[in-house]
Amino acid sequence: MVNSELISQVKSLKLLALRFIFVALAYILTAQLGLIGPYKESIATLLWLPSGVAVGAIMRWGSVAIPAVFIATVYVEQSLGMSLITSLSIACGNTLAPVCTAYLLKKLQFNHQLITQRDIFLLISAAMLGMLISSTGGVLSLHLNVLANTHDMVRVWFIWWVGDVIGVLLALPLVLNLNKTKLLANTQKTIQLIFWLIVFACCEYLIVNLIHDLNKQFMLTAFLILPVLIWASMMFGIVGGSLVVISLCVTAVWLTAQGYGTFYSMDVGEGL
């Protein structure tokens, strides 16, 4: 009896450790995607998927994800050259924000399958409210450590907030609906999804490069990919649709940051 209990505890600890490592790695990797197109000197970006990863991890796995998010945030900020104090203060906001967002969604009985309009409204509302914490805390941390000018604070705060909200809207449905068992059970469909993700990214690349010399009044041509997005959502569900949207967003942001496409501007932040 004692041995079986001990084995059970060891397995439980291993599972917690694996989840901790997985959340931290997912946060760091998605942060690198977000930093492809920084708004200004890597201070803020309009595509911050880690916020959605953090909310989803907390909703799925509970408290084990919280320290993983905190430590991963500190690591990311340190890699950007921030001081330890600044990194810790930003990490506090970036951890508290997803905790509050996850709490709101659970309290209001949010359905992660987005079946009703109410669920979509709750997702958007909780993201907008919860991410006020990270954006406000982050900008205050930068300002107090003389890393953000007073006249830039409002603009940086807005970009930070929008980036976090977009990250939640894009990544949270994917994190909550991703199921390893289903993916492994239907290998053929999983391979099809990977194939189409590559195709969609290539299509986005071609569209952006083919129209980059057009006047900005033709910006709507950049959305020729939308019918494909609708088809992907119908074919592969929330997981497939989310992956396609994320891949297209990352491709568009990277191209814009590199100086290509309809959205390119001399002011990179404006283009993004």
Burial of 9 (0-12, 13-18, 19+ CB in 10 A): exposed
Rounded to whole angstroms, the Cα distance separating 62 from 103 reads 10
Which CATH number is associated with domain 1-177?
Answer: 1.10.1760
Residue 20: its pLDDT value, please?
A: 93
Rounded to whole angstroms, the Cα distance separating 170 from 239 reads 10
pTM metric for this prediction: 0.82
Residue 144: its pLDDT value, please?
A: 78
- Sites in the chain below the pLDDT cut of 70: 1-3, 37-43, 146-148, 150, 181-185, 204-205, 207-225, 228, 255-272
Upper half-sphere CA count for residue 72 (Cβ side, 13 Å): 25
Residue 59: its pLDDT value, please?
A: 94
Intervals of CATH 1.10.1760 along the chain: 1-177
DSSP summary character for residue 43: S
Residue 242: its pLDDT value, please?
A: 81
